[in-house]
Amino acid sequence: MPDIQLNISSDGYKKIDNNIFYLDNKILEEYENIYNDKKYSDNGYENTSIINDQKDLIKFNNLNKLNQNILSLIKDNKLDNIEFDDIWFVKSVESIYEPKKLPFIPHIDKVRKIKAMVYLNDVTIEDGPLYMAKVDPNNYENFRKELKPDYKKRQENEIKNLKIEDYSPLNGNFGTTIFFDTNAPHFAGKIHNKNSLRKIIRFNFRFKSQNPIKNFFRNLF
């Protein structure tokens, strides 16, 4: 892997074009198998499959390799306090678009994570690209910590102190990968029409717990 500066701690995100992980049709095959497998799609989320258990990764060569490459790129950037959380496989289409609701409004996530979103089709402005604002993610740490347990109901994590022009649409071709800290304001773009599609894999990494008791139990299972 080439040396790539992600600068996530200062900019909040980094988009990398040019299919740096050399993805091809094999990842698409694995994607469809996972997307259509009840084991992963039975999760209450629309148009979404999820791999929760890292052990399942060995069944999917290309996905496993991609996960390793992404993780090592993040760790090479001195974000080494992170570990596997889960992987989402999502097909966003017009019918799930709700303009005034999360994740289609500017927000940060309640649980802070490092995420890597890989586009598996060419995503133009009509396909609902990820939008991100270039800011220091730590600016929003106090705001995040003060979110109430029922924040979701009132969409309390909506970001209101930025203008819509402060966000850039991250268009990209197949293989484009966006690394981001979920503390950087972001939203999913409008999905314009019935031909629009945003097919993605999202690798989610959590910050390792500083709590020794929690760590003890996590290591048991």
Site membership for Fe ion, residue 109 (CB under 5 A) = yes
Q: How many helices (H) and strands (E) does the chain have?
A: 6, 9
Nearer to Fe ion, 109 or 181 (CB): 109
Site membership for Fe ion, residue 181 (CB under 5 A) = no
The label of the residue with tokens 């500066």 reads 5
The 15-54 contact track toward Fe ion, x by CB under 5 A, reads: ----------------------------------------
Site membership for Fe ion, residue 127 (CB under 5 A) = no
- Which 86-105 residues touch Fe ion, going by CB under 5 A? 103
Could you tell me how many residues of this chain bind Fe ion (CB under 5 A)? 2
Q: In angstroms, what is the minimal distance from the CB of 82 to Fe ion?
A: 17
Rounded to whole angstroms, how far apart are CA atoms 174 and 206?
26
One DSSP character per residue, 172-207 reads B-TT-EEEEETTS-EEEPPB-STT--EEEEEEEEEE
Nearer to Fe ion, 103 or 169 (CB): 103
Q: What are phi and psi of 183, to 5 degrees?
A: -80, -10
Nearer to Fe ion, 13 or 60 (CB): 13
From the centroid of its chain, how far is CA 153?
22
Q: Which stretches of the chain bind Fe ion, using CB under 5 A? A: 103, 109
